[in-house]
Amino acid sequence: MRCARVGGYQIRASGTLGPAGITHRPVTVLVSTNGGWRLRAGWPRDAKSLDFRGCIVAPGLYDAHVHLNDSSPLESFLSYGICRVRDLGSPYRMVTGIDGGLKCVGAPEVILGGPVLDSPGKPRIASALPWQSAEDLYRYIDAAGEHGVSWIKIYAGFPIRLLPTLVSYAHTKALKLAAHARPKDARLVIESGIDEFEHIVSLIGLTRTLSSQKITALYDAWASSPMRPAELEHLADLLSGTTLCPTLATHELLRNAAEYGSFPHEAPPDLIKNWRSLRILKQAWTADQVGAAKTALLHMADCLIHLAKLGVQLTIGSDTPNPGIVAGRGLWDEINNLINAGFTPPEAYLMASVAPTGMPAGQGEGVHDLTFLPVADGYPADDDSAWPVVPVAGILRVGCLWAVSGWPRPITAEEEMG
């Protein structure tokens, strides 16, 4: 590890990632004592330089949909180049003591959410806030800032009649709201003025008739046919003031679990046990149900890229750890889903980054976190169908360089002499 607070330093790399793709050229990252950085063309002949010449420099990643829990340590995110995470539903005990702006820590920046707002009474899920009356909700919003909370998530069981007034009140407190809505409630939830709509799967309730609210019925509706142009324009119009967080990877893993009974091998055993008990997985799916889920995923991906072209704003998140999304690698799975949908690899990566505009085209400067992506064996390449899900080589986090996977490598005397 190197820390800018004990002196500036420089890092050699072999290119940068911008909106147009990867530019392969010698580049040096000059890190200043205040944690900022600037780029300089070429490699200096300086033995004090850190050598990441097998890597390109890219903005750090931002996982915008995470549920903090004991089985997903923050260090897991950082090793995959994720420098910022947004908590969208966790018990207060998980966020107590977390300082989102801490420096010189081997963990990403955390945007706090805290407990979700679900149905009144005894919470159905551990991350939900216990409440009985509207007054309880307003007291919670009043106190949210004291806990460092900046986002509040509305869950599916929340009474829709209370939502418009609650959204308006939260906005007066500079709080933003994200919502996980049932398909039948999607329109009212969006029209309430929420800032972000979670999970593209629920949008099907805005354009198709559903036999039920079960996930298999949603997949059947999505699989019936691709979204028609009129449907896409209708969705884009409704979402004109709302950001969409698609979470395609969630449904990919749910489909795999239903078909094969398997989860990622990195998933903690206690979470796997919990997932296997989920109501939607207790009974084996039929071949038709699995087939509908596969087709539904294709149609959701197609819908997503059309919505983006129609101007819908997207926020990219993994939904770690549900239902089997592993901390860190889950966001890369979602990036690859975006690529499979039709976005280019640079577009998909930058949509999930802390700086969607990418690295400066010339000798620019900045303060956002950086990631060093290895380019050995053609990775990452502009024309790849997907980018491998592997830990990155290094992360520059508020001026502190954290090396992963054996980087930085030593510089030989021959290399130093050019």
DSSP-derived letter for residue 286 is: P
User: Are residues 23 and 141 both part of a single domain?
Assistant: no
Residue 145: pLDDT above 90? no
User: Are residues 69 and 31 both part of a single domain?
Assistant: no
Question: What sign does the CA torsion over 203, 209, 212, 218 have?
Answer: negative
> Which of 317, 351, 385 is a domain's end point?
351
pLDDT-based confidence at residue 417 (cuts at 50, 70, 90) = very low
Distance between CA 73 and CA 163 in Å, rounded?
A: 33
Q: Which of 398, 418, 393 is nearest to 56 (CA)?
A: 393
User: Are residues 71 and 55 both part of a single domain?
Assistant: no
DSSP-derived letter for residue 4 is: G
Distance between CA 179 and CA 189 in Å, rounded?
A: 7
> Which of 333, 351, 369 is a domain's end point?
351
User: Are residues 167 and 208 both part of a single domain?
Assistant: yes
H or E element, residue 279:
helix 279-282
Q: Which of 342, 354, 356, 352 is nearest to 389 (CA)?
A: 352
User: Two tokens at 395?
Assistant: 């992360």
User: Are residues 32 and 174 both part of a single domain?
Assistant: no
pLDDT tens figures, 153-197: 999 999 999 999 999 999 999 999 999 999 999 999 999 999 999
pLDDT at 274: 67
The residue among 222 and 391 whose pLDDT is bigger is 222
User: Are residues 362 and 346 both part of a single domain?
Assistant: no
Task: Please tell me whether the peptide bond between 408 and the residue prior to it is cis, using omega within 30 degrees of 0.
Answer: yes
User: Are residues 269 and 231 both part of a single domain?
Assistant: yes
User: Are residues 213 and 162 both part of a single domain?
Assistant: yes
The residue among 22 and 270 whose pLDDT is bigger is 22
User: Are residues 369 and 332 both part of a single domain?
Assistant: no
Contact (CB, 8 A) for 44 and 11: no
CB-count exposure of residue 181 (10 Å: 0-12, 13-18, 19+): buried
- State the SS3 of 311-367: CCCECCCCCECCCCCCCCHHHHHHHHHHHHHCCCHHHHHHHCECCCCCCCCCCCEEC
pLDDT tens figures, 333-354: 999 999 989 998 889 999 999 9
Contact (CB, 8 A) for 363 and 39: yes
User: Are residues 380 and 314 both part of a single domain?
Assistant: no
> Which of 351, 373, 392 is a domain's end point?
351
User: Are residues 316 and 384 both part of a single domain?
Assistant: no
pLDDT at 411: 56
Number of domains making up the chain: 2
> Poorest-confidence range of 7-21, 35-49, 91-105?
91-105
DSSP-derived letter for residue 411 is: P
Contact (CB, 8 A) for 74 and 108: yes
pLDDT tens figures, 197-249: 999 999 999 999 999 988 889 999 999 999 999 999 999 999 999 999 999 99
Distance between CA 112 and CA 98 in Å, rounded?
A: 9
pLDDT-based confidence at residue 380 (cuts at 50, 70, 90) = low
Residue 92: pLDDT above 80? no
CATH number of the domain bearing residue 296: 3.20.20.140
DSSP-derived letter for residue 72 is: S
pLDDT-based confidence at residue 74 (cuts at 50, 70, 90) = confident
Residue 275: pLDDT above 50? yes
Question: Which residues span the domain enclosing 384?
Answer: 2-59+358-416
Q: Which residues contact 283 (CB under 8 A, 6 or more apart)?
A: none
User: Are residues 302 and 383 both part of a single domain?
Assistant: no
CATH number of the domain bearing residue 399: 2.30.40.10
> Poorest-confidence range of 67-71, 103-107, 120-124, 369-373?
103-107
User: Two tokens at 273?
Assistant: 């046990």
pLDDT-based confidence at residue 418 (cuts at 50, 70, 90) = very low
Q: What is the mean pLDDT of the chain?
A: 86
Segment 279-296 shows an average pLDDT of: 84
Q: Which of 258, 271, 273, 351 is nearest to 76 (CA)?
A: 271
